[in-house]
Structure 1
Amino acid sequence: MNNAQSSTRFDALDNLRALMMWLGIVLHVAVNHITTASPLPWRDPKTSPVADLLLLFIHSFRMPVFFILAGFFAALLAERRGAGGMLKNRGLRLALPFAVFWPPLFVLTAVLSMVYIHLTVRGVPGFDRALTPARQPGGSPFNTMHLWFLYQLFWLCVLAWAGLRLRRFMPPRLCDAARRAFALLAQRRWGFLVLASPLALVGSFYPSGIVAGSGSFLPPLAEWVQSGLFFVFGWYLHGPREQHLLTLLAARCQSHALAGLGFFIATAVLLGAVRGGTALPLPWPHPAFWIAFAYNATSWLWSLALIGGFVRYVPHRNAVLAYLSQSSYWVYLVHMLGTIGFGILLFNAPFGALAKMGLNIAATSLVALASYELLVRYTPIGTLLSGRHVTRARRGLPASAG
């Protein structure tokens, strides 16, 4: 593959990663306004079914896409730098930022969360630890919050490193068989059905059929399986047949998107029926299995559609997406402070749910980007997050494998 093709491929995937990062702001703002049971102990008094739909919609593909891209670039690093070089890079880019930023973000998020909970329960700002939801006996007061992605991804890279070390003791045919199997699933139109099946089995142990992130430092096996399969798929997406597979995904992006829409509608219908107490004439096993199957089929189809769509329609860098890509790590780290903080400020504002959501998304985006430009981009913090020193004369650098 020539350098021009390689650059185009990385630009497309960087553009996709930038959009997925920004959608995290939309998702976490939507959580403030959902009408159904919230995974968080606070809620704005104005709710909307649009928030429910946005949460289900974005959640269905955002993290799957991230883990596929993470696996792809981890494999790229292993090819270029070896197993040890890949692990060292992931330690510097994932483990070190987690260790540096988790403590202050945990404290600040906890404080803002307690203020928001006080608003939710009593209608006025305040601070009362008694309102904090009780932990399970023996449970830890600490969790990885939204940084669970960094935490799990680093440990998946450790497992990938261990796998590369052990590969020398394994028959070459076995390793090649795994690569061919994932390539086959990527090529065949029915491949998503096979990929969704183990995730449906895992999801069937959850009431809604959807694996919910616990944020635990010791996540349950279901979360590792959910994240790990997408990571492994991305790992095997990189390789000798990479250009062929990406070209194929680009050609099929529209059909994947339409098929994903069908499974998404099925997911919404099944979820609505189960939450409404409607008996569903579904075959064995439990209805949660079929919800999980439809939901994970959606995840695979839309993930493949987005990867192919960006390779096909957004293959080149532009100023906006390049900047979003460069700032995305910082925005990811701090955006929860904005979505909670502006949620508090807008709590008693005389606006509807959709207006509040729009204001919060805009304010969080602007403040996060402004803080990146003023406090991060040309500082040691920016160097820590990007892996390279950026000066005002040195802009637009690719972030793909960094």
Structure 2
Amino acid sequence: MEEKRFHGLDALRGIAMLLGIVLHAALPYIPDIDSIWPADSESSYLITVIFQFIHVWRMPLFFILAGFFTKVFIDRKSWEKWISNRVLRIGIPLLIFSPLMALTLPWIFKFGRTEELRFFYSMEGYPFHLWFLWHLLIFVFLSLIFKPINSLLKNNMIFDRIAKQMFQVRILVILIFLISILIIFTGGELITNPIATGLYFVLGYLLYKNVNLFETMKKNWHVYLSVGLVAFALFFALEIFKYYEPFKDLPTSQEKENAEILLWFLQQPIKVTSALFLSCSFIGLIETKFGDYSFAKRFISDGAYWMYLIHLPIVTFITFFMFRFDINPVFKFIVAILLTSAICLGTYKYIVRPTLIGTLLNGKRS
């Protein structure tokens, strides 16, 4: 692939991070969320659909793009420079923002559940929303182990064939199967599953040199989108099926539990299929239609990291504070997104971008 700057994909990676604001603003309005997140007195099925749709593909897309840009960086600079870059751009922000989150999020969540405003420090719930940074660091450490092994296997025909079948075929059936199996062990989520996120990362890493697959995504992004949307519709239909009367009226609690388990197992490969196909469609669409440089794209790609790092205390406090108001949930959802985005954007533009903090997070601006 020719050497160029992927402005559109860089912005897409930033958008994937910024959508965290939308997801965390949505959580209080999802039915039956109160066991894991402070909940508003009213829920919204519209917000639930928005949440589920974004949640399905956002982090898979992010890790695919993280792998893609890792390969770009290594090819254009070196593996050693990539290691030092990751320590600087990920390790140091983790050291800085981990205690800051422990100083803010615990008492904000306590406020959300009890309306009691009492400041305290706690690491309960860590790594909070910073979990993806730990995954990226794990990939760095694993690269130290696998780089020598990769050198030995570089021209091994069996290894090459396995890698091609897993990551370079157009439909990625084996990858869907593997990730579906892996996420079963972590409740269908990626937060505690760096092996599953690692497979998405490797897909992106190999995509940079896989011209055929990359061109297929660009030419057929609408096909990938259609398949991804159909898969999501099926996934969500199974998600809401458990609330229908025939399901709720099963004779025994054991039968209901067995049916819920069966539904959940059916959902996992469908969810992974939707995640992969939607990710491929967005990559193809952005690279085809929006690949050129613009100031807005550069601003998004540069500012997204800071905005994601600081957004969670802001959006949670705003959403929890609004619990006391008897207002339509969709209105509160929109207000939380707009206020959080304004604060994050303002601090980035005036405090971060022109200072050493911006250099730490994004490097020197060209």
Fold match by TM threshold 0.5: yes
Q: CA deviation at 1:159?
A: 1.1
Q: Is the 8 A contact 2:27 2:33 kept in 1?
A: no
> Counterpart in 2 of 1:351?
327
> Counterpart in 1 of 2:251?
none
Task: Decide whether aligned partners of structure 1 residues 377 and 165 sit closer, same or farther in structure 2, where only a CA change above 3 A counts.
Answer: same
The answer to whether residue 151 in structure 2 is matched with residue 168 in structure 1 is yes
Aligned residues: CA RMSD: 2.5
> Counterpart in 2 of 1:287?
263
In the TM superposition, what whole-angstrom CA distance separates every residue of 1:255-305 from its partner, at most 9, and x where no partner exists? 11111111111111112224654679x99x943221101111100110101
The answer to whether residue 287 in structure 2 is matched with residue 311 in structure 1 is yes
Picking from 165, 178, 184, the partner of 2:168 is 184
Picking from 202, 210, 227, the partner of 2:182 is 202
> Counterpart in 1 of 2:194?
224
CA distance in 1 between partners of 2:156 and 2:85 (Å)? 29
* One-letter amino acid matched to 1:107: L
User: What secondary structure does 2:293 align onto?
Assistant: coil
* One-letter amino acid matched to 1:370: G
Picking from 142, 151, 165, the partner of 2:134 is 151
User: What secondary structure does 1:45 align onto?
Assistant: coil
Task: Decide whether aligned partners of structure 1 residues 60 and 116 sit closer, same or farther in structure 2, where only a CA change above 3 A counts.
Answer: same
In the TM superposition, what whole-angstrom CA distance separates every residue of 1:363-393 from its partner, at most 9, and x where no partner exists? 00000000111211111111110122x5xxx
* One-letter amino acid matched to 1:112: I
User: What secondary structure does 1:23 align onto?
Assistant: helix
In the TM superposition, what whole-angstrom CA distance separates every residue of 1:297-334 from its partner, at most 9, and x where no partner exists? 10011010111110111111223222111111100101
> Counterpart in 2 of 1:250?
218
In the TM superposition, what whole-angstrom CA distance separates every residue of 1:74-97 from its partner, at most 9, and x where no partner exists? 122222333322211111111111
CA distance in 2 between partners of 1:353 and 1:181 (Å)? 46
CA distance in 2 between partners of 1:39 and 1:373 (Å)? 37
* One-letter amino acid matched to 1:270: L
CA distance in 2 between partners of 1:160 and 1:75 (Å)? 12
**Count of residues in Structure 1 that have an aligned counterpart in Structure 2:** 354
In the TM superposition, what whole-angstrom CA distance separates every residue of 1:77-120 from its partner, at most 9, and x where no partner exists? 2223333222111111111111111111221112211111213x
CA distance in 2 between partners of 1:355 and 1:333 (Å)? 25
> Counterpart in 1 of 2:64?
68
User: What secondary structure does 1:143 align onto?
Assistant: coil
Please, what TM-score do these two structures have when normalized by structure 1?
A: 0.81
Q: CA deviation at 1:11?
A: 0.8
In the TM superposition, what whole-angstrom CA distance separates every residue of 1:123-151 from its partner, at most 9, and x where no partner exists? xx43499xx9xxxxxxx735110000111
Task: Decide whether aligned partners of structure 1 residues 128 and 168 sit closer, same or farther in structure 2, where only a CA change above 3 A counts.
Answer: closer
CA distance in 1 between partners of 2:293 and 2:12 (Å)? 11
> Counterpart in 2 of 1:211?
189
Q: Is the 8 A contact 1:118 1:127 kept in 2?
A: no
Q: Is the 8 A contact 1:201 1:289 kept in 2?
A: no
In the TM superposition, what whole-angstrom CA distance separates every residue of 1:211-249 from its partner, at most 9, and x where no partner exists? 263xxxxx4xxx12321110111111122x33x432210
* One-letter amino acid matched to 1:316: D
Q: Is the 8 A contact 2:7 2:297 kept in 1?
A: no
> Counterpart in 2 of 1:393?
none
The answer to whether residue 349 in structure 2 is matched with residue 373 in structure 1 is yes
Q: For structure 2, list consecutive stretches of 5 or more residues without a partner in the other structure.
A: 249-254
* One-letter amino acid matched to 1:181: Q
Task: Decide whether aligned partners of structure 1 residues 236 and 15 sit closer, same or farther in structure 2, where only a CA change above 3 A counts.
Answer: same
CA distance in 2 between partners of 1:36 and 1:142 (Å)? 20
Task: Decide whether aligned partners of structure 1 residues 299 and 251 sit closer, same or farther in structure 2, where only a CA change above 3 A counts.
Answer: same
Q: CA deviation at 1:338?
A: 1.6
Task: Decide whether aligned partners of structure 1 residues 308 and 269 sit closer, same or farther in structure 2, where only a CA change above 3 A counts.
Answer: same
CA distance in 2 between partners of 1:165 and 1:375 (Å)? 42
Q: Is the 8 A contact 2:231 2:273 kept in 1?
A: yes
CA distance in 1 between partners of 2:272 and 2:35 (Å)? 20
User: What secondary structure does 1:113 align onto?
Assistant: helix
User: What secondary structure does 1:347 align onto?
Assistant: helix
Q: CA deviation at 1:182?
A: 4.5
The correspondence of residues 3-402 of structure 1 with structure 2, limited to 5 A, is 3=3, 6-7=4-5, 10-38=6-34, 40-119=36-115, 125-127=116-118, 141=124, 143-170=126-153, 172-174=155-157, 176-182=160-166, 184-185=168-169, 188=170, 190-191=171-172, 193-205=173-185, 210-211=188-189, 213=191, 219=192, 223-239=193-209, 241-242=210-211, 244-274=212-242, 277=247, 286-388=262-364, 390=365, 397=366
CA distance in 1 between partners of 2:213 and 2:125 (Å)? 41
Q: Is the 8 A contact 2:28 2:37 kept in 1?
A: no
Q: Which moved more, 1:342-351 or 1:250-259?
A: 342-351
* One-letter amino acid matched to 2:152: F
